[in-house]
Amino acid sequence: MTTSDTVAATADRVILCMKWGVKYGPEYVNRLYAMVRRHLRGDFRFVCLTDRSEGIRAEVECLPIPDLKLPEGLPERGWKKLTTFEADLHGLRGTALFLDLDVVIVDSIDCFFEHPGEFLIIHDWKRPWRVTGNSSVYRFKLGAHADVLTQFRATQAEARKNFRNEQAYLSDVLHKQGKLAYWPGEWCSSYKYHCIPRWPLNYFLAPIIPAGARILIFHGEVNPPDALEGRRNRALRFVRRAPWIAEHWRE
């Protein structure tokens, strides 16, 4: 492959994230962009689907979140992520890697665009016998799975009744289509399950970066600022500070 071929191959890579409401400030988007820039070689577009673009750095393309068309007053519960599967998402083309705002990238993510598979997602750590994926990190061809969103909009009452959230619904639909695949297990590590030492060692040892980890996922009780300061949003669950978070979660 020539240099010009390489540039063409990387130019259609899109990093997607989504920010709505005020739970996460613009610093989350800005730091996510900086982490991607440090850990992804070549060209890419960085797109934030958002209802608030104030304070977001200029390198990030801020575009509106498509209307999910939920009935008025129903809780959102993360279902908005399904709008990334619009048949035409603001004219974007190529391969998209979706990243949650609160992930921490600690190593190269080139491999997330190179690994074979039509649709790739994190396999749930807690219940690996289920097909459900964790949608903190997933990859797909833009426009290729519009049927997922179309089906949800047509049967949303049934979907919300049968599935706890969008990642359970998404995994089920794509699994039945034979399109669901998972990242290698060590690439996406849970801060909660893999970084914090188990009791009672959590009282004596600081959290670690697991071998082979490239992206750390923060879900449930801890987010990056909490991890940095040694806070845990659950009673009787002690965790020590992880000062190394500052080396990675920064602009």
CA 56/CA 33 separation, integer angstroms: 10
Give me the pLDDT at residue 241, please. 95
Only one residue has tokens 């995994």, namely 171
End position of a domain, from candidates 182, 216, 231: 182
* Same-domain pairing of 131 and 30: yes
Nearest-5° angle of CA 230, CA 107, CA 207? 20
DSSP state letters, 66-84: PP--PPTT---TTGGGGGG
Give me the pLDDT at residue 235, please. 58
* Same-domain pairing of 156 and 207: no
Helix extents (H) in the chain:
3-11, 26-39, 111-114, 146-154, 156-162, 166-176, 224-229, 245-248
CA 80/CA 68 separation, integer angstroms: 6
End position of a domain, from candidates 182, 210, 237: 182
Only one residue has tokens 């923060």, namely 218
* Same-domain pairing of 167 and 211: no
% of the chain surpassing 70 pLDDT: 92
* Same-domain pairing of 10 and 126: yes
Give me the pLDDT at residue 37, please. 98
- Where b means 16+ CB within 10 Å and e means fewer, 47-71 reads bbbbebeeebbeebebbebbebebe
Give me the pLDDT at residue 227, please. 94
* Same-domain pairing of 174 and 214: no
Structure-token pair, residue 227: 């991890």
* Same-domain pairing of 25 and 126: yes
* Same-domain pairing of 74 and 174: yes
Which whole number is the average pLDDT over 160-171? 93
Give me the pLDDT at residue 84, please. 97
Residue 61: give the domain boundaries: 3-182
Only one residue has tokens 């396999």, namely 123
* Same-domain pairing of 46 and 164: yes
Q: Are 60 and 47 in contact (CB under 8 A)?
A: yes
* Same-domain pairing of 28 and 103: yes
What's the pLDDT band for 75 if we cut at 50, 70, 90? low
* Same-domain pairing of 150 and 199: no
What's the pLDDT band for 9 if we cut at 50, 70, 90? very low
pTM: 0.93
End position of a domain, from candidates 182, 212, 237: 182
If one counts the domains in the chain, the total is 2
Give me the pLDDT at residue 222, please. 87
Residue 33 maps to which CATH number? Answer: 3.90.550.10
* Same-domain pairing of 109 and 207: no
CA 42/CA 34 separation, integer angstroms: 14
* Same-domain pairing of 22 and 112: yes
